[in-house]
Homo-oligomer: A and B are copies of this chain.
């Protein structure tokens, strides 16, 4: 009976340790902040995101600052914008097909060349990748604070299943429980 008492003590200890582990457990998830509005980084973001789904991971992409304009729908417009919001609207790309390379853009020639190459070598375009991401149930979060700052509105954004408008706290909640986090 002494033996049993000893075992009970050891089991209780294991349970306590186990409870500690529970707080550190992560899900098989990848969380990404898409801060950049460059075509090359946007492509990288979606290649990583869709690739991670293919490997069985859940994926959350949080779009903020320059990353937001790529989610604008090319065929939508918002009414009653103030002058500042209109300026941001004119100056920033209207949708994924308008992004430029961060490097070798050469007044648009480099970007056109890269797009041509991608087509020729059967690499999906950014628009196609966003569609694929939707099919793969990649979650897209939009940073409401930076959207408001730039004067963009929800009615201008693409139709994307489950698109969520939120703050950084919501993203951090996901990131905390993710195996992989990246800032692009």
Copies in the assembly, this chain: 3
Size of A's binding interface in residues, CB under 8 A: 65
Q: Is A97 interfacial (CB 8 A cutoff)?
A: no
Q: Judge whether A7 and B14 touch: CB under 8 Å.
A: no
Could you tell me which A residues sit within 8 Å of B by CB distance?
A: 3-4, 7-8, 10-11, 14-15, 17-18, 20-21, 23-28, 30, 33, 35, 37, 40-41, 44, 47-48, 51-52, 54-55, 57, 64-66, 84, 87, 91-92, 102-104, 113-114, 117-118, 121, 123, 145, 148-149, 167-169, 172-173, 175-176, 178-184
Can you name 16 A-B pairs with beta carbons within 8 Å? A7-B11, A17-B18, A18-B18, A21-B21, A24-B25, A28-B176, A33-B182, A51-B167, A54-B169, A55-B172, A55-B176, A57-B172, A57-B176, A121-B148, A175-B180, A183-B184
